[in-house]
């Protein structure tokens, strides 16, 4: 059996037929949902490729389980495995309390420079939603993962560092706008051209590869002119420089309005849409959040900064009733490193009760299969899940809100998925 690692050659991945995938089981419900995810993936891969392909699961440790056994929350060997094998998948991990490592997820993202947090958000028929038309929500959020006010550069009120920073701001930068200087804590918001461009490039490539109509840059550049305004400006620049006539930007639209009038600009936009160009536009974050409720069908791929992306991902997931079942991945599209993960936590309140919903991790595995180009297996799992929900087959967190809900345990739901995979024709 060929158990090679896979590598990127000339920007294209070569994936061995028997692919080693490192995985972290995770704490709490991780013990229940990770095996459920693996069984489901194995069943789909086996059916799709009749044994010619398989995932060779390689367990690596992290989290509470690892800390109890070795005294380390995130052993070096685990980071090395994700680095060597390029991709991996992880169940939820307990966030350490107190000193030492701040968050295992953040440490992994920083070490492997996983700059894009990718969250596809769609509605499954049968799932209860707080909005009237959840079927209109079909977006993929690309959230910048390494910069912004989330970079962790901040100092608490009254510390020597905060005092030093304040002195620098007032004496050397002549800042006079700090309302209560002596009782202020401070944070720094780095947003770079390089960081923005690699994120926006990934979002546009994703739209082109998946034949999606638009990429929307979401920002607050009207207020934060250099950081969020820079994100917008650099995003448009990148679109023009790197993608040329495969995209049509709203800056081109505005230029046409100014030079040849609105009618001509609308005609150009329509032609671009019809010829399959990706439309690049931007919108202010507050208007975007309103529009997600008023006209969600207007948006497809979203590229945004770290903090905006955090709020946006959760709001969109809530709109499709999928806050607990949304998948996610942290990806570096340049090196090929990617870690797919459940987006919820360890759910200590239900751990060990065989009632956790494995869907978030299963759908993250679907993203993994799509990432390596095993689309047939990915589609089988997605269709199986669609059929399960349509028939009311779901774990109790979802089935309680379904008129035909069946209240399945984790293992029963996994079995229902496997049964559906057997039936699915693709």
Binding interface with ligand NAD (CB under 6 A): 29, 92-95, 105, 324, 341, 344-350, 356-357, 360, 397
Residue 29 Cβ vs ligand NAD, minimum distance, rounded to whole Å? 6
State the catalytic residue, choosing from 90, 189, 197, 220.
Answer: 220
Nearest residue (CB) to ligand NAD, 76 versus 349: 349
Q: In angstroms, what CA-CA distances link 421 with 43, 45, 215, 372, 380?
A: 7, 10, 33, 20, 6
How far is residue 42's CA from residue 55's CA, in Å, rounded to a whole number? Answer: 7
Pick 181 or 345: Cβ nearer ligand NAD: 345
Choose, from 52, 164, 225, 286, the residue flagged as catalytic. 286
Does the annotation count 150 as an active-site position? yes
Residue nearer to ligand NAD on the CB measure, 100 or 348: 348
Q: How far is the CB of 116 from ligand NAD (least distance, A)?
A: 16
Closest distance of CB 181 from ligand NAD, Å: 34
Nearest approach, Cβ of residue 6 and ligand NAD (Å): 25
CA-CA distance, 232 to 216, in Å (whole number)? 10
Looking at the Cβ atoms of 37 and 283, the one nearer to ligand NAD is 37
Residue nearest to ligand NAD (CB): 345
**In Å, what is the CA distance from 22 to each residue of 66, 84, 187, 221, 356?**
15, 10, 36, 40, 22
- Among 95, 15, 87, 91, which residue's Cα sits nearest to residue 54? 15
Question: Is 47 a catalytic site residue?
Answer: no
Q: Which of 27, 85, 148, 150 is catalytic?
A: 150
Spatial strand order of the sheet with 278-284 comes to: 54-59, 18-24, 87-90, 338-342, 327-331, 116-122, 138-144, 301-304, 214-219, 278-284, 247-249
**Widest distance between CA atoms in the chain:** 71
Identify whether 333 is a catalytic site residue: no
Which of 83, 113, 138, 310 is the catalytic position? 310
Cβ 208 to ligand NAD, closest distance in Å? 29
* Catalytic residue status for 397: no
**Angle, alpha carbons 369-372-375 (nearest 5°):** 50
Of 27 and 147, the one with the shorter C-beta distance to ligand NAD is 27
| Catalytically active residues, by annotation | 150, 220, 286, 310
């Amino acid at each position: 059996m060929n158990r090679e690692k896979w590598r990127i050659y000339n920007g294209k991945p070569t994936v061995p037929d028997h692919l080693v995938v490192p995985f972290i089981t995770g704490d709490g419900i991780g013990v229940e949902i990770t095996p459920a995810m693996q069984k489901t993936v194995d069943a789909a891969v086996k059916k799709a490729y009749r044994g010619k392909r398989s995932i060779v699961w390689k367990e690596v440790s992290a989290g509470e389980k690892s800390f109890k056994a070795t005294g380390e929350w995130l052993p070096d060997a685990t980071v090395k495995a994700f680095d060597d094998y390029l991709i991996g998948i992880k169940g939820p991990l307990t966030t350490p309390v107190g000193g030492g490592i701040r968050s295992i997820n953040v440490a992994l993202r920083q070490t492997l420079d996983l700059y894009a947090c990718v969250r596809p958000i769609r509605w499954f028929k049968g799932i209860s939603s707080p909005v009237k038309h959840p079927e209109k929500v079909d977006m993929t959020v690309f959230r910048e993962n390494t910069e912004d006010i989330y970079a962790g550069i901040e100092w608490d009120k009254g510390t020597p560092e905060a005092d030093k920073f304040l002195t620098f701001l007032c004496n050397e930068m002549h800042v006079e706008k700090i309302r209560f200087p002596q009782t202020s804590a401070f944070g720094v918001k780095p947003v770079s051209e390089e960081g923005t461009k690699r994120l926006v490039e990934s979002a546009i490539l994703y739209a082109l590869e998946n034949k999606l109509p638009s990429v929307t840059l979401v920002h607050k550049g009207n207020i934060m002119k250099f950081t969020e305004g820079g994100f917008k400006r650099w995003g448009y620049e990148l679109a023009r420089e790197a993608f040329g006539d495969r995209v049509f930007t709203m800056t081109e639209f505005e230029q046409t309005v100014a030079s040849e009038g609105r009618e001509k600009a609308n005609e150009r936009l329509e032609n671009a849409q019809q010829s399959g160009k990706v439309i690049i536009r931007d919108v202010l974050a507050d208007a975007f959040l309103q529009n997600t409720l008023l006209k969600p069908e207007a948006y497809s791929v979203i590229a945004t900064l770290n903090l905006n992306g955090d709020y946006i991902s959760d709001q969109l997931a809530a709109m499709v009733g999928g806050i607990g079942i949304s998948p996610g991945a942290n990806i570096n599209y340049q090196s090929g490193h990617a870690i797919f993960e459940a987006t919820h936590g360890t759910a200590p309140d239900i751990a060990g009760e065989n009632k956790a919903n494995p869907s978030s991790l299963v759908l993250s595995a679907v993203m993994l299969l799509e990432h390596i180009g095993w689309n047939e297996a990915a589609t089988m799992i997605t269709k199986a899940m669609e059929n399960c929900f349509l028939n009311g087959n779901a774990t109790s967190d979802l089935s309680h809100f379904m008129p035909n809900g069946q209240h399945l345990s984790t293992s029963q739901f996994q079995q229902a998925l496997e049964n559906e995979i057997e039936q699915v024709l693709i």
